[in-house]
């Protein structure tokens, strides 16, 4: 049984933690549908609305990703110690994974 199409549908329809929207929604400006469409709207008003929603979703995603980057930077800086090195200081190097070209 081939489950790849179902997995792809689930992945594209899932709201991602960082951007708070699904990838499909950001790309096409609408959510995936699993059944038949019963309501029919006029194409012109639907197109304008779709364009507006897509632009708005992209702006929200960019803002959410900026927030995620700031949060990740904060957590990284919280755990990493800043060691001030100056030119001429002697340091110890770990050469465990160091390879020469000989």
| Of 47, 17, 11, residue with least CA distance to 30 | 47
36 pLDDT band, cuts 50/70/90, is low
Helix ranges restricted to H, 1-102: 4-13, 23-28, 43-79
What is the average pLDDT across 42-48? Answer: 66
Lowest mean pLDDT among 29-33, 38-42, 53-57, 85-89: 38-42
Whether the pLDDT of residue 28 is over 70: the answer is: yes
Whether the pLDDT of residue 72 is over 80: the answer is: yes
Give the start-to-end residue ranges of the domains of the chain. 9-32+43-79
| Of 21, 15, 10, residue with least CA distance to 62 | 21
Average pLDDT, the chain: 81
Question: What is residue 22's DSSP assignment?
Answer: B
Lowest mean pLDDT among 35-39, 60-64, 87-91: 35-39
Q: Would the pTM count as exceeding 0.85?
A: no
35 pLDDT band, cuts 50/70/90, is low
């Amino acid at each position: 049984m081939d489950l790849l199409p179902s997995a792809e549908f689930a992945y594209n329809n899932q709201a991602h933690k960082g951007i708070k929207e699904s990838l499909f929604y950001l790309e096409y400006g609408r959510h995936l549908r699993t059944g038949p469409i019963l309501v029919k709207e006029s194409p012109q008003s639907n197109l304008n609305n779709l364009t507006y929603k897509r632009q708005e979703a992209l702006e929200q995603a960019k803002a959410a990703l900026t927030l995620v980057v700031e949060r990740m930077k904060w957590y990284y800086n919280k755990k990493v110690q800043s060691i001030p090195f100056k030119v001429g200081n002697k340091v110890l190097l770990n050469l465990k994974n160091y390879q020469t070209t000989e």
